[in-house]
Amino acid sequence: MINKGDLFQGRATVESDAPACLVEVVRTYNKRDIDYDCPESVAIIGMVEAVILSGPDIGKTRRYQRKGFNRMFTRVEEAS
């Protein structure tokens, strides 16, 4: 479950030499996706809005589909 305030780190990729960025979840919400050819067809898409805390885009807010966000980022676990 993704909650407001959770920290996530970008997954490292083989083709990218850039360090993985750190993001904080600002909010989660559901977005309606309406097919204009068939108005009865409405899809609900889970969205995540996150602010970037490190890297070249520091301070910018980005929106991701929840399933794409889960593929791109991993949760940062607290050290106890």
- Residue 20 CA, chain-centre distance (Å), reads 14
In the three-class reduction of DSSP (H, G, I as helix; E, B as strand; rest coil), residue 28 is classed as: strand
Span 3-45, pLDDT tens digits: 999 999 988 665 555 567 899 999 999 998 888 888 788 889 9
Pick 14 or 60 by higher pLDDT.
Answer: 60
Q: With beta carbons less than 8 A apart as the criterion, state whether 73 and 54 touch.
A: no
The per-residue pLDDT for 77 is: 83
Q: Could you tell me the pLDDT band of residue 80, with boundaries at 50, 70 and 90?
A: low
The per-residue pLDDT for 17 is: 57
Tell me the CB-side half-sphere exposure of residue 10, using CA atoms within 13 A.
Answer: 18
The per-residue pLDDT for 16 is: 55
- Cα separation of 65 and 46, whole Å? 6
